[in-house]
Amino acid sequence: MTEPAAPALPDLRPGPDGWVAAARRVPSPNFDDRPPGMPVDLVVLHNISLPPGQFGTGDIEAFFQNRLDPARHPFFETIRDVQVSAHFLVTRAGELVQFVSCNARAWHAGLSDFFGRSRCNDFSIGIEIEGTDDQPFTLAQYDTVAALVRGLHVASPVRAIVGHSDIAPGRKTDPGPHFDWKRFAALAGVSATLLPYQSQTDRK
């Protein structure tokens, strides 16, 4: 099957202020400054659903804005004091939501390491994809993630695109076994050299 041509994807480049004009902006307070002069050269892909396994609830946005109601679901009590964010969320319908400017440090990676470089939040962009480890992602999500990564690659010196599991092995498993790396790479028009952590025989 021939993949859709990458140039047909929308232009999702961040502007000078680090915000993507086409994204729905939902500012999160959970960010701070990157170290001075730090190049942003890593993209980290995650998955998330709140409550776990449920989609379209609006709870992800509430979580990243520190306004999640712990009484709404038993799981929320376990994360009531957690303050995290990501730069972007891609919903099941393929909508792009932005929480933090790409110029700032979002709190998405946690304890992490990229080829001996710790504190991956310092030099990465975090993209959350609404989903779970045990369900396929939607075609609309692949289109949006691919277009966003193409835009980020133009705006920043991106040298690698990894899963959260690659920089926090044993602690994190996302984006999970259902994320089709080959489909994503073809749509995004990125070289296999930008996917350094697993060989292509390990990727789907």
Element (H, E) at 45: strand 42-48
Residue 128 annotated as catalytic:
yes
Please say whether the beta carbons of 172 and 111 come within 8 A.
no
Pick the catalytic residue: 3, 77, 95, 128? 128
Distance, CA of 20 to CA of 59 (rounded, Å):
22
**Count of residues in the chain:** 204
**Taking CA 99 as the corner, what is the angle to CA 93 and CA 103, rounded to the nearest 5 degrees?**
125
Angle separating helix axes 139-155 and 181-188, nearest 10 degrees? 50
Cα separation values, 170 from 80, 111, 120, Å: 24, 11, 16
Alpha helices, H only, 33-180:
59-64, 74-78, 139-155, 164-167
Six-digit token pair at 62? 């509430």
Six-digit token pair at 195? 């996917």
Six-digit token pair at 5? 């041509």
Catalytic residues: 128
